[in-house]
Amino acid sequence: MFDLISEYDSRILAAFWVTIKLTFFSAIGALILGTIVAGMRVSPIPVARWVGTAYVSIFRNTPLTLIIVFCSLGLYSTLRWELAGDSIKDNNYWWAIIGLSVYTAAFVCESLRSGINTVHIGQSEAGRSLGFGFAQNLRLIVLPQAFRAVIAPLGSVLIALTKNSTIASVIGVGEAAFLMSEMNENEAAVLAIGAIFALGFVVLTLPTGLFFGWLAKRFEVVR
């Protein structure tokens, strides 16, 4: 195993760096989109609630592989929606981020909606008595408390996103799973290769879980 690490050290680090970037940008996109969809789910406007519910139902029950392949082959290769010039590699990278974002946003939305449901109705009524509209009430009163209530679930979503980033390899994005597949084809050491990449993902996800656990205790809402 150590011989493999010595031989592929720079490529392994580069592959996991791509995984980290995929997770980072996808997490930002999922958090923004998921917050918007969560707001639609609790909106007083029936059409907005219907759209939010449809979004969650569709993307939460659609395989991530299908979403990413559709983004690459359907939106990019067929419709020619380019995000990064003429480079196939760069376009697939950004389409993978979009696919991961829209998929994970459905889970962010549901986690955040559960946090919204923990906010006492009196909080919203107090905001309305001050003259706040729905959007202002949601932004200033409800969402800050909701985020504090769901820090741990959002950490679990981020960990799942880190592991789901391996699906990007199906469209040729050179992240960890892509390199692992290449190494398995070239080296007769399946167990050692698996151990290397399993350890790599533990190094990425374990600190994330511990950090979000600490944040959850630090900012826990006392009811």
Residue 119: pLDDT band with limits 50, 70, 90:
confident
> Of all helices (H) and strands (E), which one includes residue 46?
helix 46-60
- pLDDT at residue number 222: 56
Task: Tell me the residue type at 187.
Answer: E
Instruction: Give the pLDDT confidence of 120-144 residue by residue, as tens digits.
Output: 888 778 888 888 888 888 888 889 8
- Asked whether the predicted pLDDT for residue 32 surpasses 80, the reply is yes
Give residue 30's pLDDT: 96
CATH pick for 18-173 out of 3.40.225.10, 3.20.20.70, 1.10.3720.10, 3.30.1330.20: 1.10.3720.10
205, 27 in Cβ contact below 8 A?
no
Q: What is the mean pLDDT of the chain?
A: 89
The pLDDT value recorded for residue 55 is: 96
pLDDT at 221 over 70: no
Annotated domain spans of the chain: 18-173
CA angle 4, 8, 10 (to 5 degrees): 145
User: For residues 148 and 221, is the Cβ–Cβ distance under 8 A?
Assistant: yes
In the predicted model, is pLDDT for residue 223 greater than 70?
A: no
